[in-house]
Amino acid sequence: MKKTVGLLLLLFLFTTITACTGQSDKDEASKQKQTVNLTISAAASLKDALTDLQHTYEKKHPFVKLHFNFGASGTLQQQISQGAPVDLFFSAAQDKFQALVKDGSIERKEGANVVGNDLVLIVPKESESSIKTFNDLKNSSVKKISIGTPEAVPAGQYALETFKNMKVWGKAKPKLVYAKDVRQVLSYVETGNVDAGVVYRTDALVSKKVSIAASADSASHSPIVYPLGVIKDSKQKAEAKKLYTFLKSESSVKTLEKYGFKKIH
């Protein structure tokens, strides 16, 4: 009788331990699923639209967490080239993107142009600005103009090309206040620290403190295209590819259009 009771107790303990271990394994597997983190280095001008798309994606994929590193495309490109742990790159310029394709950081087949944008001249909304065209930047009443640093900020490079093609570069150059990205340019104009700035239309649309004075002719600068690609050395390659497919999908492009981006035909 005692032997029977002993065996039953051992069997009970074994079953309980096994069940607990099984549950523990399931809990651990669940935790591991929840820790799939993806890092996306993206142009600062994409911040609002990608934050919107982040909510959509994470709702559909509860075990994936997106982390964005927003900044100037040139700066982000250099970080990736130097080995920064990034899964996807969403650039505001083709040359910065192609530099990563050339050095092998992105495979050409895992990259695509997603949307376009427009370049605009903005002024503080509450000011009684006399600036109505790019040509007005030559006026002596205009003291400070902000653009992104051309070497790192695509919008700054497009602004530089526009100024030169519209014959205002000579007068505008001494007035320039350089910024680390388009959002800093936007901030300078919003606070009235400069008389005008050049940003993307998408940046101007998200601010209630600036007005669009003029739009740059698309022929005055290089085409504004936003390429997206998967980083070759991503530690979460399968999940990164899924996000890549989502971000260039028709539904995502529609969301980007809502924020002022242009569909590429």
Give the closest residue to 35 by CA, choosing from 239, 241, 243: 239
Q: Is residue 235 domain-resident?
A: yes
Q: Is residue 1 domain-resident?
A: no
Average predicted confidence (pLDDT) for the chain: 90
Q: Report the pLDDT averaged over residues 15-25.
A: 50
Domain span at residue 143 reads 119-220
Asked if 112 and 232 sit in the same domain, the reply is: yes
* Interacting residues of 216 by C-beta distance below 8 A, sequence separation 6+: 118, 119, 120, 121, 134, 158, 162, 166, 198
Asked if 88 and 166 sit in the same domain, the reply is: no
Residue 24 has pLDDT above 90, yes or no: no
Residue 25 has pLDDT above 50, yes or no: no
Residue 19 has pLDDT above 60, yes or no: no
Asked if 142 and 96 sit in the same domain, the reply is: no
- The Cα diameter of the chain in Å comes to 107
- 8 Å CB contact between 131 and 175: no
Check which CATH number belongs to the domain holding 150 and give it.
3.40.190.10
- Sheet-wide strand order for 196-200: 176-179, 145-148, 196-200, 119-124, 210-215
Residue 22 has pLDDT above 70, yes or no: no
Structure tokens at 150: 């051309």
Asked if 110 and 137 sit in the same domain, the reply is: no
- Going by the DSSP 8-state scheme, the letter that residue 218 receives in this structure is G
Total domains in the fold of the chain: 2
* Confidence (pLDDT) at 4: 54
Asked if 212 and 254 sit in the same domain, the reply is: no
Asked if 40 and 69 sit in the same domain, the reply is: yes
Asked if 55 and 137 sit in the same domain, the reply is: no
Summarised one tens digit per residue, pLDDT across range 49-87 is 999 999 999 999 999 999 999 999 999 999 999 999 999
Q: What is the DSSP string of 23-68?
A: HHHHHHHHHHHHTEEEEEEEEGGGHHHHHHHHHHHHHH-TTEEEEE
CB atoms closer than 10 angstroms to residue 213:
20
- 8 Å CB contact between 224 and 214: no
Q: Is residue 124 domain-resident?
A: yes
Asked if 106 and 228 sit in the same domain, the reply is: yes
Structure tokens at 239: 């999940």
Q: Is residue 112 domain-resident?
A: yes
Q: Is residue 257 domain-resident?
A: yes
Asked if 200 and 231 sit in the same domain, the reply is: no
Q: Is residue 23 domain-resident?
A: no
Q: What is the DSSP string of 117-183?
A: --EEEEEETTS-----SGGGGGSTT---EEEE-TTT-HHHHHHHHHHHHTT-HHHHGGGEEEESSHH
Structure tokens at 24: 């523990």
Asked if 77 and 199 sit in the same domain, the reply is: no
- Rounded CA separation 213/201 (Å): 11
Count of all residues that appear for the chain in the document: 265
Asked if 71 and 196 sit in the same domain, the reply is: no
Residue 198 has pLDDT above 50, yes or no: yes
Backbone φ, ψ for residue 164 (5° rounding): -70, -45
Q: Is residue 22 domain-resident?
A: no
- 8 Å CB contact between 246 and 64: no
Asked if 92 and 175 sit in the same domain, the reply is: no
Q: Is residue 16 domain-resident?
A: no
Q: Report the pLDDT averaged over residues 188-209.
A: 97
Single pTM value for the model: 0.84
- 8 Å CB contact between 257 and 46: no
| Structural domain ending residue among the three candidates 220, 236, 255 | 220
Model confidence at 129, pLDDT cuts 50, 70, 90, reads: confident
